[in-house]
Homo-oligomer: A and B are copies of this chain.
């Protein structure tokens, strides 16, 4: 029970200015940015140091108080929003915002959980290095949130998911103890890999307060092309050729349907179709090289060859950084412009990369059969087998009536995903949104292992309860 006395004890840990009780002050922490989840809490705590987080968890442990950790509040599955009951305390990590160290010689950076992704990228750049994680929300999402959700983004094809970018962690456990796991090592085989348990656990096993992340060489040249292809299979063939081409690394490979270009050019005055004729599908490909101009020659050769063989119908290679940005804008505006097209039922799925065309072949007719006239928009990270299959409502249909079909459509899509050995949440996580779906897609042995680990690390169930499991 959150008595006034107990709330006062929590507030005393961080000091009154950082213990928010006024609804207006709390508002930014309690509404998910798309307004899909709204939570309630008697207390938003903004600790300023790991010791304060530890003290909060210690008191929570002693009193059985449930705690919801939060980073930049940009999550898409409601994992960062407390329930409507008002029985949980929210702990915002945003004041833990120091870049503790940047070590270009060791290619590592120590960052606290509340550092925004963009600030982390900038800190690496200032030291002449690259922190490659890149997402649409990088201006406001935080490293702690990226780690807790194992964020993906547009550079996974070359650098991996957030999990692959973390060497060490500092974590406050459910009982308030601090695990000091800030290692800077490329190799360490002294026992179990605890770090990966906390990465992607959405704050249900511990509260990540800092991390050691990997840095990389900055590419000397980045070349971007916008390519028209007849179908997803052709896009996949182009991916294989681009990866096999010498001279550069494929650092992004995004698939877009024609409808994406139509939606963006319709609603974003700054965007234009880079190609003269319409094409059924498009690929946004980026090749990077540590050699100056290294990727351009390779990409030109790949595209010329693919054009000749009908894999590619047309292509534009960005001649300037501004042009490259205009190509990227077509991809980045996609989530935003969909709002202007009415309700959108969303999926964040992955399948083995080579099965993406088969997945689309199976899923699109099922979706279109369920709600005739609906407008599927399958786009995303083809190189990772990860598609955001958003489906806009039929023109003129009642939005609420359309959105009421969401669960049914999700179930149909997820059935196909599961049949193909895929994932129903490739990069956004489970949170509240997909919690009920887990038992349907997970091996019961795996679920029971997850539950056993949760019970071991958080025996009272006070860490972000009702999320994931």
Instruction: Knowing A217-B244, A354-B106 are in contact, say whether A190-B385 is a contact too (CB < 8 A).
Output: no
Q: In residues 260-295 of chain A, which contact B (Cβ within 8 Å)?
A: 289-292, 294
Question: Whole-angstrom distance between the alpha carbons of A137 and B197 in the complex?
Answer: 30
B156 touches A187 (CB 8 A): yes
CB distance from A74 to the nearest CB of B (A): 15
Contact among B156, B180, B469 with A445 in the assembled complex (CB-CB below 8 Å) = B180
Q: Which residues of B contact A247 (CB under 8 A)?
A: 247, 290-291, 294
B425 touches A386 (CB 8 A): no
B190 touches A430 (CB 8 A): yes
Contact among B350, B354, B450 with A192 in the assembled complex (CB-CB below 8 Å) = B450
Q: Which residues of B contact A220 (CB under 8 A)?
A: 246
A205 touches B192 (CB 8 A): yes
Tell me, yes or no, whether A213 is within 8 Å of chain B by CB: no
Instruction: Knowing A179-B445, A247-B290 are in contact, say whether A438-B190 is a contact too (CB < 8 A).
Output: yes
A449 touches B179 (CB 8 A): yes
Instruction: Knowing A179-B449, A190-B441, A443-B179 are in contact, say whether A246-B185 is a contact too (CB < 8 A).
Output: no
Centre residue among A105, A161, A381, A424 by max chain B CB count within 10 A: A105
Q: Which residues of B contact A178 (CB under 8 A)?
A: 445
Residues 373-399 of chain A, each 1 if its beta carbon lies under 8 Å from chain B, else 0: 000000001011110000000000000
Tell me, yes or no, whether A240 is within 8 Å of chain B by CB: yes
Q: Which residues of B contact A161 (CB under 8 A)?
A: 187
Within the oligomer, what is the number of copies of this chain?
A: 2
A200 touches B196 (CB 8 A): no
Q: Which residues of B contact A355 (CB under 8 A)?
A: 106
Q: Which residues of B contact A243 (CB under 8 A)?
A: 217
Tell me, yes or no, whether A61 is within 8 Å of chain B by CB: no
Q: Which residues of B contact A181 (CB under 8 A)?
A: 443, 446
The segment from A25-33, A117-125, A309-317, A452-460 that touches chain B is A452-460
Q: In residues 428-457 of chain A, which contact B (Cβ within 8 Å)?
A: 428-430, 434, 438, 441-443, 445-447, 449-450, 452-457
Q: Which residues of B contact A173 (CB under 8 A)?
A: 445, 449
B298 touches A430 (CB 8 A): no
Tell me, yes or no, whether A208 is within 8 Å of chain B by CB: no
Tell me, yes or no, whether A38 is within 8 Å of chain B by CB: no
Q: Which residue of B lies closest to A449 (CB)?
A: B194
Tell me, yes or no, whether A102 is within 8 Å of chain B by CB: no
Tell me, yes or no, whether A352 is within 8 Å of chain B by CB: yes
Question: Whole-angstrom distance between the alpha carbons of A293 and B107 in the complex?
Answer: 28
Contact among B103, B244, B452 with A456 in the assembled complex (CB-CB below 8 Å) = B452
Tell me, yes or no, whether A84 is within 8 Å of chain B by CB: no
Tell me, yes or no, whether A11 is within 8 Å of chain B by CB: no
B290 touches A245 (CB 8 A): yes
Q: Which residues of B contact A450 (CB under 8 A)?
A: 191-192, 194
Q: Which residues of B contact A449 (CB under 8 A)?
A: 173, 179, 192, 194, 457
Tell me, yes or no, whether A296 is within 8 Å of chain B by CB: no
Instruction: Knowing A247-B290, A294-B247 are in contact, say whether A384-B179 is a contact too (CB < 8 A).
Output: no
Tell me, yes or no, whether A199 is within 8 Å of chain B by CB: yes
Question: Whole-angstrom distance between the alpha carbons of A192 and B427 in the complex?
Answer: 13
Q: Which residues of B contact A194 (CB under 8 A)?
A: 446, 449-450, 453
Residues 14-38 of chain A, each 1 if its beta carbon lies under 8 Å from chain B, else 0: 0000000000000000000000000
Q: Which residue of B lies closest to A429 (CB)?
A: B189
Question: Whole-angstrom distance between the alpha carbons of A161 and B186 in the complex?
Answer: 9
CB distance from A332 to the nearest CB of B (A): 19
Q: Which residues of B contact A177 (CB under 8 A)?
A: 445
Question: Whole-angstrom distance between the alpha carbons of A468 and B424 in the complex?
Answer: 36
CB distance from A417 to the nearest CB of B (A): 10
**Apart from A105-B236, A183-B423, A186-B383, what are 13 other A-B pairs with CB-CB below 8 Å?**
A103-B354, A150-B189, A163-B193, A177-B445, A185-B351, A187-B385, A189-B426, A191-B447, A192-B450, A194-B446, A196-B196, A246-B292, A452-B457
Nearest 9 CB-CB pairings of A with B: A246-B291, A196-B196, A188-B423, A105-B354, A187-B426, A186-B384, A246-B290, A184-B352, A106-B354
A-B contact pairs, 26 of them (CB 8 A): A105-B353, A105-B354, A108-B352, A161-B187, A179-B446, A183-B421, A183-B423, A184-B421, A185-B350, A185-B421, A185-B426, A186-B386, A187-B385, A188-B423, A189-B426, A190-B423, A190-B424, A190-B425, A190-B434, A192-B200, A192-B449, A192-B450, A196-B196, A196-B197, A246-B290, A246-B294
